[in-house]
Structure formats: C-alpha cells, structure tokens
Structure 1
C-alpha cells in the first residue's frame, strides 16, 4: 500500500510528538491514552507505538 502525503505528515508528527501522530490517525480514544502513557514513561516507546498505529491503519 503506497504512502500518501498525509501519511508522511503523520509519520513526521509521530517522531516529533508521538501523541499528535496517533491523534491524527485514530482520533481521541484508547490508543491515544496508551500513547500518552508510553510517551510519559519514555519517549522512544511512544514513538514506536505511534509508528505502529500509523503503519497498521
């Protein structure tokens, strides 16, 4: 499945501030809360989770 411009923007958001990337992909929900918790616990796990959410959906 090819990437679109919005996917690239979401990936950049996920690297800079992971919850914004998840918010742009899935909206406000459980995935956003999980990502916020992971970002607070460690920045790298938040990035990994955000990229996983973006690539999965």
Structure 2
C-alpha cells in the first residue's frame, strides 16, 4: 500500500494525503500547496505518506 500511496501522491497530491491521513490539517495544507505550485504539493504529500507509514 505505501508504494501505491506514493504513486497517487505524485499524480494527485491531495488524494495521497487523504488516503494516508484523511481530511484534516495535513490535507488542507496540501490542497493549498498544490494550488500554489504542483511541486510543493508533491513534496508535502510524499513527506506525509512517508511519515504516516
């Protein structure tokens, strides 16, 4: 599952965070970062997924 979450985090960063943590602070931070720039959203999503597992 972690590999699938990392792949999803690269394609759709908020979805990857949602799968790892649900809707919460990390999800909303990731949505904002993804809207500001795709790369910061990816970095944050991978960080959250790696920290959750």
Which TM bucket (shorter chain)?
over 0.9
User: What is the TM-score of this pair, normalised by structure 2?
Assistant: 0.96
Other-structure match for 2:20 = 25
Unmatched tracts of structure 1, length 5 or more: 1-5
Unmatched tracts of structure 2, length 5 or more: none
Larger helix fraction of residues:
2
Cα RMSD after superposing both structures: 0.4
Residue 43 of structure 1 deviates from its aligned partner by 0.1
Q: Which one has a bigger Cα radius of gyration?
A: 1
Figure out how many residues of one structure are paired with residues of the other and give that number.
52
User: What is the TM-score of this pair, normalised by structure 1?
Assistant: 0.89
4+ residue segments displaced more than 2 Å: none
